[in-house]
Amino acid sequence: MPADKFSFLITRPDFDDTTAYCLAWSGQLINEANDRGFAILDLRKEKATLEEFEGRMKLPAVIFVMLNGHGTLFTVEGDKGSMLLEYGKNEHLTKGKIIFARSRYSLEKLGGSCAQSGALGYVGYSRPFFFVLDSAQGAHPLNDELAKPCFIASNLVALSIIKGQAISEAVRKSREESEKLKAHWQTRPEIEAPLVASFISWNSNCLDFCGSPEAKLQY
């Protein structure tokens, strides 16, 4: 494939525990995209601003966009509450791209609007994304066994899309993996295991997509 023609844009703000975990767990996705020849556009920490985001989104080479950050029904945010993608404002920038938002609530309103504005597909969560943090591992998100299953299931969406699978297949695989992880955590001895299992299940139930089920990256 003419790999250098295609870019993976990822936003990774880092100003609280939630965004710090999302930043760390997105490293796996960057590595996979890099291995497959994508150019990586990484809006990390304070670079996750509207100006930087819109500038990258205008590049036709950007075909897959992953947004880590807080959100609402109508927005996905970047660094410290700065708006990146907003209903009625800049959804047109998603035209021809696939979006995956690891952000609460944005699927229905913002995702639907992006799909209507020409996005190939928008995968996201209809409700808050939950995970458990082990306080003892606070400085090392990748070593946090309690947070790990929720991120494994979520990351599988992006990994599947990067590998060229349709967004419906990416969501199906994530749900399937969630069922396995939930079953595993239902039998784990840790006292926190029931809560971890409940959040794996919740996140999976809240994951869905807007746009054509067959939408996939064309490279």
Residue 216 contacts another protein per CB under 8 A: no
In the DSSP assignment, the letter for residue 57 is H
Distances (CA, A) of 136 to 145, 194, 218: 11, 19, 43
Nearer to another protein, 6 or 125 (CB): 125
122 binds another protein (CB under 8 A): no
CB 215 within 8 A of CB 98: yes
Report the alpha-carbon distance of residue 12 to residue 43 in Å, rounded. 6
Interface size with another protein, residues (CB under 8 A): 35
Report the C-alpha gap between 92 and 88 in whole angstroms: 9
Residue of 129, 162, 174, 216 that binds another protein (CB under 8 A): 129
Binding mask 66-95 for another protein (x = CB under 8 A): ----xxx----x------------------
Among 44, 47, 127, 188, contact with another protein (rule: CB under 8 A): 127
The binder of another protein chosen from 133, 165, 184, 188 (CB under 8 A): 133
Burial pattern 176-214, b for ≥16 Cβ within 10 A else e, equals ebbeebbeebeeeeeeebeebbebbbbbbebbbbbbeee
Binding site for another protein (CB under 8 A): 16-18, 21, 70-72, 77, 103-105, 125, 127-136, 138, 146-147, 191-192, 194-195, 197-199, 201-202, 205
